[in-house]
């Protein structure tokens, strides 16, 4: 048996988002986001046609849910404030019902010794702003900063961990490259502008937060997916993997921590004639307003080989013109999600952050295993026996522990997610939670075996294996 004892004060908990958990009530004042609109337009694209109004009812069940967080060992919990709930039109009047709700959630968390980690943008652009171009429009950046400042002033006396974006590369990929988020464009030039505006918005929100001097810290949450070349001794494979890393990781990681975009990325975008519109003071603003804390979401690796397939010119240039994905023989898979399970990836990310990004304070802000049909694992007591999830978390935590032993400044581990929640186009197809949600019984909650196990890990600040 090996003992894995984590540093004192290590953060144990989980992550979720407002749009995936809260739900919606008549007259709650919330405005439409892009998800509400897209479901109205194309409900057939959502698994079982389950839309964002059928999320896990945190809006009405938050007190019960926070007790369940306590019962599963949470010392911290990350969620987001829905822009379209707080400021329904994206700009203008604040929804006082939303203020009351978020105040109540924050106070309830603190009363139960669970620290709130609050993210500002989790893919939920207010529809009124999307109609004007969303992140393509510079005015959205200005509106976002007002939204951020509003949140800081309303809740910053109690919330001391803030994040500007969750996975900002995803709106770029989903909305402007690969058609899995609204507005479903496939246009790399637009994608570049969207990514640039998200980076700029983050820096401007960080500046606003620090100027308010509220005694907390602010960062960003990035899904860092290591790009491994098919053959590390093959220069073409290595070059292709570097392109993937530039497009999907370093496009946000470098400006967030170093305050500048990677030169190689700028050169590629420049060669394509797709540099974004930049105002004179922008790059200095990004340079001077870097993050205090990095959240790292890790699910799977990216396996890359040199470009062998024909370039598809249908939609103009794409990141995929520079590399091909590679299926490594013998890889371990999560068959439900179709993702490779590669635990060492979490260690490689932490090592990279330690060696190349000043060993900035960071934490694992998401890591999880989505499984379809979990009801098949219910025992006679009605508890889901998700030993596979326990094994998944344990095997990743072992690599987090190794990174700590080697000097990584990683401060905590958050699982995705606390309770099963609505997951965009996948709705409830794959379940990720420590706590099961039964949609047929008014969202009845039941702690899974993994949730009980996580409580022991949190209580002991570690585990033996």
Residues catalogued as catalytic: 366
Q: What angle do CA 33, 34, 39 make, to 5 degrees?
A: 105
Determine the Cα–Cα distance for residues 8 and 76; give it in Å rounded to an integer: 14
| Sign of the alpha-carbon dihedral angle for 245, 246, 251, 253 | positive
Contact 345, 301 (CB under 8 A): yes
- State how far the Cα of 222 lies from the Cα of 3, in Å rounded to an integer: 30
Partners of 223 in the β-ladder? 297
* CB neighbour class for 263 (10 Å; exposed up to 12, middle 13-18, buried from 19): exposed
Q: How far apart, in Å, are the Cα atoms of 137 and each of 87, 127, 132, 142?
A: 18, 13, 7, 10
What is the C-alpha separation between 382 and 375, in angstroms, rounded?
9
> For residue 251, what are the contacts with CB-CB under 8 A and spacing of at least 6?
169, 195, 199, 261, 262, 265
SS3 82: coil
Residue pair 1/398 in contact by the 8 Å Cβ criterion:
no
Partners of 437 in the β-ladder = 445
Rounded Cα distance, 297 and 279, in Å: 31
Phi-psi region at 90: left, alpha or beta (left = phi > 0; alpha = psi -120 to 50): left
């Amino acid at each position: 048996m090996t003992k894995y004892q984590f540093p004192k004060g290590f953060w144990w908990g989980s992550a979720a988002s407002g749009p995936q958990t809260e739900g919606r009530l008549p007259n709650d004042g919330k405005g439409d986001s892009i998800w509400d609109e897209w479901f109205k337009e194309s409900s057939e694209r959502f698994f079982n046609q389950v839309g964002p109004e059928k999320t896990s009812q945190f809006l009405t069940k938050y007190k019960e849910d926070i007790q369940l967080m306590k019962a599963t060992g949470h010392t911290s919990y990350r969620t987001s404030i829905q822009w379209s709930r707080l400021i329904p039109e994206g700009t203008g009047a604040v929804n006082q019902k939303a203020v009351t709700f978020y105040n109540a959630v924050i106070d309830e968390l603190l009363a139960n010794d669970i620290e709130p980690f609050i993210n500002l943008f989790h893919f939920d652009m207010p529809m009124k702003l999307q109609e004007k171009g969303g992140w393509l429009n510079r005015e959205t950046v200005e509106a976002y900063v007002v939204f951020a400042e509003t949140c800081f002033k309303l809740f910053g006396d109690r919330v001391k961990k803030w994040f500007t974006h969750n996975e900002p590369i995803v709106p770029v990929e989903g909305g402007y490259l690969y058609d899995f988020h609204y507005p479903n464009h496939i246009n790399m030039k637009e994608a570049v502008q969207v990514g640039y505006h998200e980076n700029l918005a983050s820096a401007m929100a960080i500046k606003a937060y620090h100027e308010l001097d509220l005694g907390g810290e602010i960062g960003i949450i990035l899904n860092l997916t290591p790009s491994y070349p098919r053959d590390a001794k093959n220069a073409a494979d290595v070059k292709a993997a570097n392109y993937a890393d530039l497009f999907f990781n370093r496009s946000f990681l470098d400006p967030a921590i170093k305050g500048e975009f990677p030169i190689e990325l700028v050169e590629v975008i420049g060669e394509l004639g797709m540099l974004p519109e930049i105002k004179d003071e922008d790059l200095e603003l990004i340079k001077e307003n870097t993050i205090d804390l990095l959240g790292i979401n890790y699910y799977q690796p990216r396996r890359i080989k040199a470009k062998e397939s024909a370039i598809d010119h249908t939609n103009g240039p794409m990141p995929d013109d520079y590399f091909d994905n590679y299926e490594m023989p013998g890889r371990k898979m999560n068959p439900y999600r179709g993702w490779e399970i590669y635990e060492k990836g979490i260690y490689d990310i932490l090592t990279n952050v330690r060696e190349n990004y000043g060993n900035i304070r960071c934490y694992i802000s998401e890591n999880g295993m989505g499984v379809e049909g979990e009801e098949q694992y219910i025992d006679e007591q009605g508890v889901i026996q998700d030993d596979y999830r326990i094994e998944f978390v344990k095997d990743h935590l072992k690599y987090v522990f190794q990174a700590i032993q080697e000097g990584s400044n990683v401060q905590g581990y958050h699982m995705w997610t606390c309770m099963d929640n609505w997951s965009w186009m996948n709705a409830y197809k794959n379940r990720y939670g420590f706590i099961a949600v039964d949609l047929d019984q008014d969202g009845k909650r039941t702690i899974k075996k993994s949730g009980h196990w996580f409580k022991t890990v949190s209580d002991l600040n570690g585990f033996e294996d």
